[in-house]
């Protein structure tokens, strides 16, 4: 199975438009599609990851019938934003007006929800943060000034998932998606969802227990679960043992390290130990992770990698990363993967390696079209991640599909989707800058010989009776 990742408004214009692309010019390339948040509103403070109503399709993109139609042709993955909702949600607006008298008062976290006796400086400083400062925003709740827990932005208010109200909210979301034919869910920001006093409030034992419960409920409803966590590779391995799917977020930076240095050893070492139930990516709607290769690259190598990306993008990524733009996660480098890799040859080699690895390959819509950094959109919004979130017109898509680099990438996708050997056994070999990735099923085989120093690859294959 291979999947596309796309915003419906930025690739097709609507859910129906995305459907037409996948069954038209992209027919036969993908078995599934991860449609990035299409809830009301899809264009809020965090590009749909701050839903006002997580159970409603934004009418500008379509309706649940459009989701069902898409799910009739492809496996649909949808985000379940478990940590927070928009401050403009009906429930939080009611709490702001009525305070503790609101029936939704227990649905949201405040400082005193987690620290009823107050928090010490040591306890507050231990909280893991994806952005600077403390995770609280002052709000008037029923005329009383309170510190509301806001992990990401002041417009994303955190849910109390230990309360009956919080649990009932998430269950409504899950049942709504299952009723619409969604077969896979991605738990967004799950690592931050449970706040336990005296801990980092990130991927604690209580967090694991929450993920176990939510995944079990999703499976009852016929959905498989992908957990999105940016953390060390050891943490990814722990998560992989407890869920259906986990991202291989170490792969993109390790590939870039190999391409910029010719050193394939860290990548080869990771490929020998990585979980088998991986979703593989080069890029996503977020940035390229840095923390994900801790322990796989040393500090000097990570620094050199970051600088190499900035050089390959001619400084564009520097303008979109860290404190340079409105980023909710300063531990990621914002750039398109094509720009970060330094052009067509390196990019195609990276894509070939991704598609030859075990797991579920996902291809981001900008990456599918080998998109360059969108500096115009970055300048217009000031949001670092928008450098890799271009809004494609139909004409731009048609033009991009004719580019040689895109056409070669589509050939790689067709090979992965259609060759029977990929359903067989995988082998890994190579030394120095070279990797050899092979698959065999009966008399069918397919093999990739890659040289990261030369930025070249060769594919050989046989498929009797194909």
Task: Give the number of other Cβ atoms within 10 Å of residue 136's Cβ.
Answer: 19
Q: Using alpha carbons only, give the angle 400, 406, 408 rounded to the nearest 5 degrees.
A: 150
For tokens 């991202």, name the residue: 247
Give binding residues for substrate as ranges.
46, 84, 186-188, 228, 285-286, 329-332, 385
* Dist CA 334 CA 315 (whole Å): 11
Positions at the binding site: 46, 84, 186-188, 228, 285-286, 329-332, 385
What is the per-residue DSSP string for 334-345? -S-HHHHHTSHH
| CATH number of the domain bearing residue 145 | 3.90.400.10
Residue 323 pLDDT: 61
Quick one: 71 and 171 in the same domain? yes
The pLDDT of residue 325 is above 70: no
| Mean pLDDT taken over the chain | 94
- 332 pLDDT more than 90: no
Residues 266 and 314 in one domain: yes
Does residue 97 sit in the same domain as residue 216? no
SS3 assignment, position 261: helix
Residues 214 and 286 in one domain: yes
402 and 373 within one domain: yes
The catalytic residue positions are 188, 228
d(CA 194, CA 205): 10
* Structural domain includes residue 102: yes
Single out the residue of 339, 320, 321, 249 nearest to residue 291, CA to CA: 249
Q: Are residues 144 and 217 in the same domain?
A: no
CATH number at residue 172: 3.20.20.80
CB distance 439 to 446 below 8 Å: yes
Q: For residue range 390-423, what is the model confidence (pLDDT) as tens digits?
A: 999 999 999 999 999 999 999 999 999 999 999 9
Q: Same domain for 73 and 151?
A: no
Q: Is residue 389 part of a domain?
A: yes
pLDDT digits (tens, 9 = 90+) for 249-283: 999 999 999 999 999 999 999 999 999 899 999 99
State the pLDDT confidence band at 292, using cuts at 50, 70 and 90.
confident
Tell me how many domains the chain contains.
Answer: 2
Question: Do 104 and 141 meet the contact criterion of CB atoms below 8 Å apart?
Answer: no
Q: What is the pLDDT of residue 290?
A: 82
For residues 323 and 75, the model is more confident at: 75
Cβ atoms of 76 and 30 closer than 8 Å: no
Q: Buried (b) or exposed (e) across 184-205, using 16+ Cβ within 10 A?
A: bbbbbbbbbbbbeeebebbbbe
Q: Same domain for 147 and 251?
A: no
Instruction: Look up the domain containing 400 and give its range.
Output: 3-82+164-423
327 and 365 fall within a common domain? yes
Cβ neighbours for 34, distance < 8 A, ≥ 6 positions apart: 3, 4, 5, 6, 77, 78, 184, 186, 362
Residue 328: the pLDDT is 45
- Cis amide bond preceding 316, omega within 30: no
Torsion region of 322: left, alpha or beta (phi above 0 gives left; psi -120 to 50 gives alpha): left
Q: Do 320 and 390 lie in a common domain?
A: yes
Of 193, 235, 184, the C-alpha closest to 211 is 193
- Is there a single domain that holds both residue 215 and residue 284? yes
For residue 466, the model assigns a pLDDT of: 60
């Amino acid at each position: 199975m291979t999947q596309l990742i796309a915003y419906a408004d930025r690739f097709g214009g609507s859910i129906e438009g995305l459907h037409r692309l996948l069954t038209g010019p992209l027919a036969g390339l993908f078995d599934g599609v991860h449609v990035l948040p299409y809830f009301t509103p899809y264009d809020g403070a965090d590009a749909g990851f701050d839903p006002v109503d997580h159970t409603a399709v934004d009418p500008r993109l379509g309706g649940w019938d459009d989701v069902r139609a898409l799910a009739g042709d492809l496996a649909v993955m949808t985000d379940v934003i478990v940590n927070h909702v928009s401050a403009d949600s009906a429930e939080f607006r009611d709490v702001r007006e009525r305070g503790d008298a609101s029936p939704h008062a227990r649905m949201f976290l405040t400082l005193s929800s987690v620290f009823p006796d107050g928090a010490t400086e040591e306890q507050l400083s231990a909280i893991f943060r994806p952005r600077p400062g403390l995770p609280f925003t002052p709000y008037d709740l029923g005329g009383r000034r309170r510190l509301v827990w806001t992990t990401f932005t002041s417009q994303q208010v955190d849910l109390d998932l230990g309360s009956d109200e919080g649990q009932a909210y998430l269950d409504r979301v899950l049942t709504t998606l299952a009723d619409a034919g969604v077969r896979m869910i991605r738990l967004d920001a799950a690592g931050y969802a449970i706040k336990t006093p005296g801990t980092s409030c990130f991927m604690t034992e209580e967090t694991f227990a929450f993920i176990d419960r939510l995944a079990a409920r999703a499976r009852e409803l016929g959905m498989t679960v992908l957990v999105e966590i940016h953390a060390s590779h050891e943490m990814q391995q722990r998560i992989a043992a407890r869920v259906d799917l986990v991202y291989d977020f170490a792969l993109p930076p390790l590939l870039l390290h190999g391409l910029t240095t010719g050193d394939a050893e860290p990548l080869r070492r990771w490929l020998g130990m990585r979980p088998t139930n991986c979703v593989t990516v080069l890029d996503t709607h977020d940035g390229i992770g840095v923390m994900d290769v801790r322990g796989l690259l040393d500090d000097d190598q990570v620094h050199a990698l970051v600088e190499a990306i900035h050089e390959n993008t001619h400084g564009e990524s520097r303008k979109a990363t860290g404190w340079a733009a409105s980023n909710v996660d300063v531990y990621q480098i914002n750039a398109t993967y094509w720009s970060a890799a330094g052009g067509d040859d390196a990019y195609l080699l990276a894509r070939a390696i991704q598609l030859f690895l075990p797991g579920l390959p996902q291809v981001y819509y900008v990456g599918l079209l080998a998109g360059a950094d969108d500096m115009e959109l970055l300048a217009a919004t000031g949001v670092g991640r928008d450098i890799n979130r271009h809004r494609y017109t139909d004409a731009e898509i048609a033009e991009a599909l004719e580019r040689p680099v895109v056409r070669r990438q589509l050939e790689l996708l067709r090979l992965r989707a259609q060759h029977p050997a990929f359903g067989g056994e995988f082998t890994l070999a190579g030394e120095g800058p070279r990797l050899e990735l092979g698959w065999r099923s009966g008399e069918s085989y397919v093999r990739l010989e890659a040289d990261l120093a030369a930025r070249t690859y060769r594919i050989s294959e046989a498929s009797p009776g194909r």
